[in-house]
Structure 1
Amino acid sequence: MNRTPFSPAQAFRLAPLAAAALALASLSVQAYAAAASDASATDSAQPSSVLPAVSVKAARDTLPGDLAPAYAGGQVASGASIGVLGKQKMLDVPFSVTSYTSKLIQDQQAQTIADVVANDPAVRTALGYGNFSQTFIIRGFQVYSDDVGLDGFYGLTPRQMVDTGAIERVDIFKGASAFVNGASPGGSGVGGTINVQTKVADDKPVTRVTVEGSASGELGTHVDVGRRFGDNDQFGIRVNQTVVGGSTAVQNQDNHSQQTAVSLDYRGDKLRLYADFLYQKNNITGGRPGVFVTGDEMPSTPSASYNYAQPWTYSKQEDTVGMLRGEYDFAPNWTAYAGIGSRHTTELGEYSTIDYDAGSASAYRMGDALKENAISAQVGVRGKFDLGPVSNQVNAGWQINRIAEYAAYDWSYGAGTFATSLNNTPSVAYPAATYGAGSYANPGLTTSILMRSFVVSDTLGFFQNRLLFTIGARHQDILENGYGYGTEVQNAAYNESATTPIFGVVYKLQPNLSIYANRAESLVEGGVAPSGTANVGQVMSPFRAKQYEAGIKYDANHYGAALAIYQIKQQVAYTNATTNIYETDGVQQHRGVEFSMYGEPVRGLRLIGGVSYINAKLVDTDDASEEGNRPIGVPAWTFNANLEYDVPQVNGLTLMGRAIWTSSQYLDTANTQKIPSWTRFDVGARYKTQILKHDTSFNVMVTNLTNRSYWSSALGGYLTQAEPRTAWFSVTTDF
């Protein structure tokens, strides 16, 4: 069990094999070009629908700071927004990044970010601790929904889950990210981060209406309107309105959500301004909870759609977000940027936590009221200049995040604990509180987080930018104060800082083939010794995860592929059983290999998929029983294959199939409890036509086709059950 399948040296020897695979795959370029040429010859006598698309794409390419073009099929982009480095081509950066587009969201009827990242072989999703929030696993490490970036800003994303109506791109940065993004306020993101980019007005007017529904009873509408105005189309407005609600595929569980987003922008020769407003409201009743296992016996999963929640459980969240951003080209190749945003959140919920032990289950109620006020700001400059034969791309920036949390809670633990079951759940009357703190009507201040950082970097280009070397550093201050529930008396303080460097190199073997390597770090708040320890209140320095990564990327315009190998070592803090001292001792080590491919390697056949392997273990611990064991909730293998096929016999018809496989995971660090591997199959189809001269698309998407019941994640030491079979239907019309 503790045997290491490969060493770093062995892993790096896989790179030439993968490069050969990529080169072999590139032979399909010729087949694709030949097919395209034949198609052009066949269509030459007919009116072409391709020319307008080419015209729009050319206009986009000339817009400063605009989105990177997508691969064939339009679902995965060839570039992304990469923190302080701004918008970059994938081939030019020494990092592993994937960017999914709004077309993928529309084609797959993705309701939340979790539905989008389900396409990625290196990402998995679970439930948050004690609630219904979505949390993500990248390279085996957790990313809280609170730590998802919004247009490059931390702290502004709606809590618990993010709906997709207003999203243009979902950028997934895989690996240590303290340099490019800074430390996240929630203290997650060691193995990567997620950033979402909001929609802005395009050059082409948009008036799109979608009516959708699920087989279980959910109904919804999405209206997307975008226009540009002015003599040179310098003014833009984009409005998105989404309303979805009804019964989900889980029994006795209802979900109602709405999202309103308004984006205003000004696009001048030198000045670009953006103003965004986002309002999101979610209401879940009867949400199926996670399951804690306190004994050695693992529970079998109930039927896929069975709900073991109590009828009085619910969660309500309401988020209001506003942002102002701007860029100004104050000299040729030099741009200054600045932005500020704020978020106000209110949350109210009643949850039922289930403990499973030796065949029996018990639960108690916990209620919470929460308000959050967040503000985020950044300012910086990017520039390019040459020093002799060496080009330079410099970046310098400063950012600040402040989050104030006001909370109250009560629970029924103890006298209010009740017996329950995962398979024959009794309905229990609302349990009275046995303990509580704070006022639900007016929650008091409980946490204040302030994060400041300054970053500087330079990317040096040699041999006409064939060799790119990036060096830089970010200095981060982390300040957090804790206050007693209901008293607002300070009872905890954290004030530490750290500097995280970056070293990265890219070498272009060919214009469309590059190899890269980086040495990077992630940064999260260090622990504070809890009550009952010999050093109670002692503050740990920030935990620094150190990463070494190397890889190869290939871009054939209509499809791309990438291979990465990496090692991440993250410090672990715990209370020593012998000395009763809370200390930083031990390392969680992840060594992994990732391969991904996306686009249209053969005309009419598109794919998104890949495979990820992680050799994860705990090392240098003082507990001999855990030394070399696998961390909780980290599968060794994950695999995705998403295929789309344009049926040649029926113009406009596309069929889709997807397979997602995840290997087994441990529920405890002793590695005595394990959930089995699982496989999920999804299918879909869409038909595009014209009705009354309006482009119309009919879509269907079925996830978990076989309605398989399984535990999808053990992350956090609790079990998340997978969603049952869910079928979504939609009709989208452009006016």
Structure 2
Amino acid sequence: MPAVMPLSTRHLLRAGFAMSLLLSTPLWAADRALRTYEVPAGSLGAALTRFADQAGVSLSLDPALVSGQQSLGLSGRYTLDEGFLQLLRGTGLLLQPVGEGAFTLVPAPQDASVLEIAPTNISGGQLQLNDGQPYAGGQVARKGSQGLLGARDFMDTPFSMTTYTHELVKNQQARTLSDVVASDPSVRATNPAGGRFEQFTIRGLSLFNSDVSYNGLYGILPTYSIDMEMAERVDILKGPSQLINGISPRGSVGGAINVVPKRAGDKPITEFTGSYASNSQVGGAVDVGRRFGEGEQFGLRFNGVKQGGDTEWGQQRVDREMAVLGLDFRGERLRLSADLGHTERDTDAPQERVLVGANARVPSASDVRHNYAQRWSQAHTNDTFGTFNAEYDISDSLMAYGAVGARESHHDFLRHNVSIINDAGDFSVQPRDFTRDESVRTAMAGVRNWFHTGPVSHEVNLAASYFYMDFTNGGARYATALSNLYNPVATPTPVTPTRSDGQAYTENRFSGIALADTLGFVDDRLLLTLGARWQRVQVDDWSDGVKGDTAYDEEKVSPSAGLLLKVTEQLSLYANYMEGLSQGKIAPSTSINEDQIFPPFISRQIEVGAKYDLGRVAFTASAFRIRQPAYETNATSRVFGPNGKRDNRGVELSVFGEPLDGIRVLGGVMFIDSELTGTVNGAFDGNRAPATPRYNVNLGVEWDVPGVNGLTLTGRGIHSSSQYLDQANSKRIDGWERFDVGARYALKLDSTEVTLRANVENLMDKRYWASAGAPDDSEPGLTLATPRTYLLSATLGF
């Protein structure tokens, strides 16, 4: 008995001390309202002061008490007591009230220092300790990066946004960005998976790879294909996003995609993944992460990939290499990070879009059984890039941040168009040697300030951005031969050019200044974001050293506004108005005014929506309208240019989470009515815009098999409805479905964690036209679906 009594006494003292503090704090204990807090990682003193400022209470502290202590920060919805308890966990400090709405810090008595009180009623049942905190099920993250506005929880965002996690990337065995976006009904790939480059649509409008940002910076990632082994998360935001990140290099306005780089976590990681993809692609990937130094301030994360072999396309081979190094520093007030990367990709016999001539009907996809690309065609891309990011807490309520980035790329193609000229599927093979060298320099800097004016909270952001890219195109053309889509004919390897293309040099300079304020009313249950971005677009071009006449220098102020109402802890309603300025379209190679650059244009979106978070499963719904100019290549004159406007009106529904233990869902549906208006002489008014399906549907399910620990079965269905190739709506492709299945098994062998994965994409091996091409910026062309593909991998964690 004597040995037991001191232990019991110590427990009673600890509990009694804690209860005395709680009972003597009527304001703290009574404030049970959930509010949204955004406190970045950094020094403990700065984190506590920023939290108190956002909560609207006063906090005094002795700097000696918090000296040298770090905080992981806080993100999400908390009551006042939950937030303070979470920030003070493990610090040996306790909160002491000194008046109404005023607190100070005191050292916890020795007997009470180990007492921990777990927070309750946290949204989604997850502690919001970092930007990548996953939602239930682990496939989607709660927070997404929003450039100028910082990282925010999806329930606190007046936009439609989904953030896919690294776990989803790994479990789907995604190799490129195209594999990841296949999970989103609002996004579709518009170029063949075995092609030279990737391209997408969001809400029926084009998005190029060059418009995908890397940690908020445009133009840094490889232009033609982005390897997913480098990604910690992938943010997809729907609608014009110029307020957030500024104008993108190719002016995409249907939405934005941001790739978040990997960082070393607090837990060391050493993984090796061996992979196989049919027909005979074999590869390996390593992922190593460590933290070191005093307080583990320094972090290192390295990802490397080497994969190569034949694909399912026949006579096609793809070899790829990737190496990305991420470094970071977490100081008391200063946070730094840097990323250095290099990628190379060689593709033999890459797929091209199938162009359909005016005198030919749409070919039958089911009859295309062979790779119609010539064996001698090839694509080689080489990209080297780097970024540097910094954040500094000037004070506990003012933060300065900035980033710079650069990329150097060399691309070399020997290719040919596939332009069907008759119903038999014949097409001319005109070899073209095409080279492109790109150089990118980009920078941004800003300040973010948190403060209150009476009962109204403010988060003010002021930022400036600059983007520079120059590129040089050159090449040659060779003698024309004839082949057939259904029965390809091997043509001679081109040797002697029949024509040399002039060397074209182009400079793009985009600059902008943005200001935004997020105002919080009624304990931040009503959030109003108001902002505007001034942008200047400068383009100059030369051909064989002679300055062209398509150069322009234009500027525009683009306003944006967002309103979010937290009706309850689980329900948020929102609305937004967003404008986007886009660089002018570039005439495609199949037009007679090839490479002509058109002036910038403006797109406008209105959107309303709702988000319902049940903790284990979440639903989102939105209705939107986007208007922008429409472009086409005239069927008779072959001149590319604007023709009317496209009016995209749509509805999106999505679901994600783990509604039942061991059952995860991810999917949704998008309905879109894309109508042409104001076309020349009203010829196409009322028609559906090209390359825009009326419906997209996705549904993925994962099931942890009961009784077999570590075994998960997966399935996914994807559907797109019919699409037109032209503004006249005279040519159409049918709707299509694709079914994928898979399984994974996680186990532990001694101290090694092993995950085995097997996936089958396009299980039924259906041949169909997956897309009618890019809807608004180039020649309509058909994308052939990828044949049935087997993916196998084994990940070993040491």
Which band: TM-score by shorter chain? 0.7 to 0.9
2:748 aligned with 1:695, yes or no?
no
Alignment counterpart, residue 459 of structure 2, candidates 393, 410, 423? 393
Match for 1:150 among 192, 214, 226? 214
- Which amino acid counterpart does residue 182 of structure 1 have in structure 2? G
Corresponding position of 2:397: 333
Contact 1:445 1:488 in 2 (8 A): no
Q: Which residue is 2:347 aligned to?
A: 284
1:467, 1:734 → 2: CA distance?
Answer: 45
Whether the 8 Å contact between 1:212 and 1:221 is mirrored in structure 2 is yes
Higher Cα radius of gyration: 2
TM superposition score normalised by structure 2:
0.80
Q: 1-side partners of 2:638 and 2:699: how far apart?
A: 48
Q: Which letter does structure 2 place at the counterpart of 1:155?
A: G
Alignment of 1:504-653 (within 5 A): 504-526=562-584, 542-572=600-630, 586-653=644-711
Deviation string 1:116-152 (CA, Å, 9 cap, x unpaired) is 0100111100218996200011000010011111110
CA distance, structure 1, for counterparts of residue 694 and residue 465 of structure 2: 36
Gaps of 5+ in 2: 1-119, 775-779
Q: Which amino acid aligns with 1:286?
A: A
- Paired residue type of 2:518: T
How many pairs does the alignment contain? 665
For residue 668 of structure 1, give the secondary structure of its aligned residue in structure 2: coil
The 1:185–1:628 alpha-carbon spacing in structure 2 relative to 1, beyond 3 Å, is same
Please state how far the C-alpha of 1:304 moved relative to its aligned partner: 6.6
The CA deviation string for residues 432-483 of structure 1, in whole angstroms up to 9 with x for no partner, is 4222135xxxxx6611100001000001100000000010100110001111
Alignment of 1:434-445 (within 5 A): 434-438=498-502
Contact persistence 1:703–1:726 (CA under 8 A): yes
Q: 2:173 matched to 1:109?
A: yes
Output aligned runs, 1:388-427, within 5 Å: 388-412=454-478, 416-427=479-490
**Partner residue of 2:236?**
172
Matched, 1:458 2:524: no
Structure 1 residue corresponding to 2:356, chosen from 293, 299, 311: 293
Instruction: State the SS of the aligned residue for 1:492.
Output: coil
What is the match of residue 225 of structure 1?
288
> Is the aligned partner of 1:161 residue 2:220?
no
The separation in 2 between residues aligned to 1:388 and 1:425, in whole angstroms, is 74
- Give the gaps of 5 or more residues in structure 1: 1-53, 439-443
Query: How many angstroms apart in 2 are the aligned matches of 1:590 and 1:257?
Result: 37
Which residue among 191, 199, 204 is the counterpart of 1:127? 191
Change (3 A) 1:388 1:707: same
Q: Contact between 1:507 and 1:515, CA under 8 Å: does it hold in 2?
A: yes
Does the alignment pair 1:676 with 2:742?
no
5 Å matches for 1:50-129?
Answer: 66-127=130-191
Cα 1:132–1:584 change in 2 (3 A) is: closer
Measured against aligned partners, the alpha-carbon deviations of 1:132-182 in whole angstroms (never above 9, x if no partner) come to 200011000010011111110011110111001111011001011121121
Residues 494, 595 of structure 1: alpha-carbon distance in 2 compared, 3 angstrom cutoff: same
Distance 1:309-1:529 versus aligned 2 partners, 3 A rule: closer
For residues 594 and 363 of structure 2, the distance between their equivalents in structure 1, rounded to whole angstroms, comes to 36
**Residues 521-577 of structure 1: CA deviation (Å, up to 9, x unaligned):** 1221246999xx9x9999975311111000001223332220010000112367999
1:479 aligns with 2:538: yes
Report the equivalent of 2:449.
383
Q: Give the CA deviation at 1:406.
A: 1.5
Letter in 1 for 2:567: L
Please point out which of 309, 327, 342 is paired with 1:246.
309
Say which is worse superposed, 354-363 or 705-714, in terms of deviation: 354-363
Cross-structure match for 1:721: 784
1:623 is paired with a residue whose SS is helix
Distance 1:273 1:420 in 2: 55
Normalising by structure 1, report the TM-score.
0.86
| Equivalent position of 1:501 in the other structure | 559
Distance 1:395 1:512, change over 3 A: same
Q: Report Cα offsets for 1:569-628 as digits up to 9, x if no partner.
A: 112367999999998662100000000011101111001100000000101223333111
| Higher RCO, Cα 8 Å, sep 6+ | 1
- CA separation of 1:607 and 1:72: change in aligned 2, threshold 3 A: same
How far apart in 2 are the matches of 1:308 and 1:183? 37
Are 1:268 and 2:327 matched, yes or no?
A: no
C-alpha displacement of 1:389:
0.4
RMSD: 2.8
Equivalent residue for 2:247, pick from 178, 183, 204: 183
Cα distance in 2 between the residues matched to 1:488 and 1:316: 29
For residues 525 and 358 of structure 1, what CA distance do their matches in structure 2 show?
Answer: 36
Q: Does 1:706 align with 2:770?
A: no
Helix, strand or coil for the counterpart of 1:103?
A: helix
Q: Which amino acid aligns with 1:341?
A: G
Name the counterpart of 1:667.
725
Q: CA deviation at 1:86?
A: 1.2
Q: Is the 8 A contact 2:388 2:404 kept in 1?
A: yes
Distance 2:488 2:154 in 1: 50
Match of 1:13 in 2: none
CA distance in 1, matches of 2:633, 2:365: 33
Aligned counterparts, 1:369-380, within 5 A? 369-380=435-446
Shift of 1:61: 6.0
* Aligned match for 2:506, one of 444, 447, 453: 447
**Aligned equivalents of 1:552 and 1:158: distance in 2?**
35
1:51 aligns with none
Distance of 1:524 and 1:603 partners within structure 2:
45
SS across alignment from 1:232:
helix
After TM superposition, the structure 1 stretch with the greater mean CA deviation from structure 2, 663-672 or 620-629, is 620-629
Q: Distance in 2 between matches of 1:541 and 1:282?
A: 33
Identity of aligned residues (%): 38
